[in-house]
């Protein structure tokens, strides 16, 4: 991890470097990511826990990262590559820092305040973590179309407002994050400490590593990436991101005056389509043009190996 370039690439996994969405992946995208990863400091930033992070690395043959931020920003790990597979060492310091927002309560204690809400259903125990409380919502229509007045269920905004109020009444400072799993057609609701989003965790990592802000690039595609995509980091939205997310992200950076910090991948980057890893690399090159020579030589190597 003694890389002289001191570039930190932070990327979401599902549907960002992992091609597990509906769009096509350009064949050289992941092989090129594997080449480029050797030149920089790589961190995955995911809703996945440590075990599912590990599964993704082997299943999709993506590079073993130097760091992993899991559970939507509530855990940070140093990752070491061993013959038996990646080993994850948790940063206790990060957990201590975010615990105060929940007054030391864990996800079980916090879920007690919400147990009578009908629109949401607890995810399986393995999807919960000390400071991450996760629900499913089948009524994903509440995101966009609440339906006719007589059968109308609450909108997401109204539901979030109530959850927010209930938690505030208990002195729990939380961040409530909606995402939609398009493939499964289900809404995902994550409740995490206020200062434990992917954005906060990336900033903590960047500060601990002492990396300059202009050498950090974040890549993502969905709702739980919005704080990191729009918070002022150099960020890339992969081309396969849902149109709704794209609109929200663009509106938010405009509002905050961060427009030039968000790069929506366009495709046509060394012949690749801008989806998934291709979009990540395109965005990296947009913000840090010095990486272009790595891209060229990486592609050349892939062609020679091919
Ligand atoms: Mg994603």
Does a structural domain hold residue 86?
yes
Ligand 1 centre distance from Cα of residue 21 (Å) = 9
Which residues lie across from 133 on neighbouring strands? 191
Does a structural domain hold residue 3?
no
| pLDDT at residue 138, as a whole number | 76
Ligand 1 centre distance from Cα of residue 193 (Å) = 20
Tens digit of each residue's pLDDT, the chain (306 residues): 556 679 999 999 999 999 999 999 999 999 999 999 999 999 999 999 999 999 999 999 999 999 999 999 999 999 999 998 899 999 999 999 999 999 999 999 999 999 999 889 999 998 899 999 999 987 655 545 545 555 556 777 788 899 999 999 999 999 998 877 777 778 889 999 999 999 999 999 999 999 999 999 999 999 889 999 999 999 999 999 999 999 999 999 999 999 999 999 999 999 999 999 999 999 999 999 999 999 999 999 999 997
User: Do 123 and 173 sit in the same domain of this protein?
Assistant: yes
Confidence (pTM): 0.89
| pLDDT at residue 210, as a whole number | 96
State pLDDT tens for residues 216-264.
999 999 988 999 999 999 999 999 999 999 999 999 999 999 999 999 9
Ligand 1 centre distance from Cα of residue 221 (Å) = 5
Ligand 1 centre distance from Cα of residue 81 (Å) = 24
Ligand 1 centre distance from Cα of residue 70 (Å) = 12
Looking at 193, 225, 243, which one is the last position of a domain? 193
Q: Which residue has the tokens 């007054």?
A: 103
Give the chain's domain count. 2
User: Do 216 and 296 sit in the same domain of this protein?
Assistant: yes
Ligand 1 centre distance from Cα of residue 169 (Å) = 32
Which residues lie across from 189 on neighbouring strands? 135, 178
Query: Which residues are CB-neighbours of 136 under 8 A, at least 6 positions away?
Result: 120, 121, 122, 123, 186, 187, 188, 189
Ligand 1 centre distance from Cα of residue 180 (Å) = 10
Q: What domain range is 130 assigned to?
A: 101-193
Ligand 1 centre distance from Cα of residue 263 (Å) = 16
Ligand 1 centre distance from Cα of residue 290 (Å) = 27
Which CATH number goes with the domain that contains 68? 3.40.50.1000
Ligand 1 centre distance from Cα of residue 276 (Å) = 9
Looking at 162, 193, 224, which one is the last position of a domain? 193
Beta strands in the chain (DSSP E): 8-11, 41-45, 67-70, 75-82, 85-90, 121-122, 133-137, 174-181, 186-193, 216-220, 234-237, 262-264
């Amino acid at each position: 991890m003694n890389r002289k370039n001191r570039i930190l690439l932070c990327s979401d996994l599902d549907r960002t470097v992992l091609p597990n969405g509906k769009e096509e992946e350009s064949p050289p995208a992941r092989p090129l990511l594997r080449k480029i990863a050797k030149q920089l400091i790589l961190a995955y930033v995911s809703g996945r826990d440590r075990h599912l992070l590990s599964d993704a690395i082997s299943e999709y043959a993506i590079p073993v990262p130097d760091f992993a931020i899991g559970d939507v920003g509530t855990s940070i790990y140093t990752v070491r590559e061993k013959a038996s597979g990646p080993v994850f060492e948790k940063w206790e310091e990060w957990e201590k820092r975010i615990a105060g927002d929940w007054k030391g309560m864990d996800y079980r204690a916090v879920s007690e305040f919400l147990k009578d809400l009908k629109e949401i259903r607890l995810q399986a125990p393995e999807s919960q973590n000390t400071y991450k409380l996760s629900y499913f919502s089948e009524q994903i229509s509440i995101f966009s179309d609440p339906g006719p007045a007589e059968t109308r269920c609450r909108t997401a905004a109204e539901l979030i407002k109530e959850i927010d109020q209930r938690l505030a009444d208990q002195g729990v400072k939380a961040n409530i994050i909606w995402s939609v799993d398009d493939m499964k057609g289900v809404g995902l609701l994550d409740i995490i400490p206020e200062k434990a989003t992917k954005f906060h965790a990336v900033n903590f990592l960047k500060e601990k590593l002492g990396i300059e802000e202009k050498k950090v690039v974040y890549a993502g595609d969905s709702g739980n990436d919005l704080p990191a995509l729009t918070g002022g980091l150099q960020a890339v939205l992969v081309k396969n991101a849902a149109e709704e997310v794209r609109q929200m992200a663009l509106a938010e950076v405009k509002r905050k005056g961060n427009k030039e910090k968000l790069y929506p991948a366009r495709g046509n980057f060394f012949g690749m389509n801008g989806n998934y890893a291709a979009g990540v690399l395109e965005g990296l090159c947009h913000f840090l043009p010095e990486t272009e020579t790595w891209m060229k030589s990486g592609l050349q190597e892939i062609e020679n190996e091919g």
